[in-house]
Amino acid sequence: MKKSIYVIISRTNTKMGTFIRTVTQYDYNHVSLSLKETLTPMYSFARYHQDKPFTGGFVEESWLRYLQKDRDIELIIFDIEVDEKIYQHSIELMDEYIANKDNHRYNFAEAIKSYFPLYQSGEGTNHTCLSFVVAVLQELEVIDRDKTIKSIKRLYDELLGYDHIKRVITREERKNYIINHEWNNDEYLLKSKRYIRDLIPLIKKKK
C-alpha cells in the first residue's frame, strides 16, 4: 500500500520571512515536512517562540504559528508517494528528532552562509528548515544523496516531478483555521505576551 510524505513550501508573514525573500529574491521562504494528508503536525527547523526569533531548532509546527497576521498565506504542497517501508522509516526519523529535539538547534551560521555563492551545506544535527528537509528526503532516497540543494527554489525544481498544488489560506479563512486547529506540541506562543491579545478578538467574532 502506497503512502505519502508531504513537503510544504510556504511564504510566511514574519519579518524574518520578508528578509529571507528579499535576500534570496524568491517568493517563498520556509519549508516543512508532514507525514499526514491533513498536514498536522508539520516538522521543520524554526524559532521556538514568537518573541525570540534567534532561538530555534527542531519544531513540531501547528498551522496557528503562521496565522498571527491578517494576511493571505501562500503555499506549495508536494505529495511524494512512497512505499510502506520508506514511510515507516520516515516515522522512525521523526520520532528520533522528537526524542532528541534538545540536541537539534537552528543553524544560523548555515542560514547566513547559504546566501553566498561558494556555500556548501554542512552536516550534523543542526539545520535550517531547508537543510533539514533535504537531509530527510535524501535519507528516504527521494533526493539523490550526491545533490547539493542550497535554496528553496532549487528544492522546488528538484521536486517538480511529484504531484503538487499551490494553495492560499485567505484572510477570510484565517479565523476558521484559528478556531479549528490546536497548538499541540508547538510552543510558538508559550512565552508570548501577545497570545491573549491576538486570540480573544477572533473568538468574540465567532460568537
Q: What is the pLDDT of residue 2?
A: 82
What number of residues does the chain have?
Answer: 207
Q: Tell me how far apart the alpha carbons of residues 120 and 11 are, in angstroms, rounded to a whole number.
A: 24
The low-confidence residues of the chain, meaning pLDDT below 50, are 116-122, 193-207
Q: Within its chain, how far is the Cα of 108 from the centroid?
A: 16
Q: Please give the grid coordinates belonging to residue 85.
A: 517501508
Rounded Cα distance between 161 and 78, Å, is 10
Q: What is the pTM of this model?
A: 0.82
* Helix%, strand%, coil% for the chain, nearest 5: 40, 25, 35
- For 108, list phi and psi in degrees, rounded to 5: -65, -35
- CATH at residue 55: 3.90.1720
Tell me the residue type at 116. Answer: F
Q: What is the pLDDT of residues 130-152, one digit of tens each?
A: 999 999 999 999 999 999 998 99
Per the rule left: phi > 0, alpha: psi between -120 and 50, beta: everything else, 124 is left
Domain span holding position 86: 3-206
Please state the domain count of the chain: 1
pLDDT number for residue 161: 96
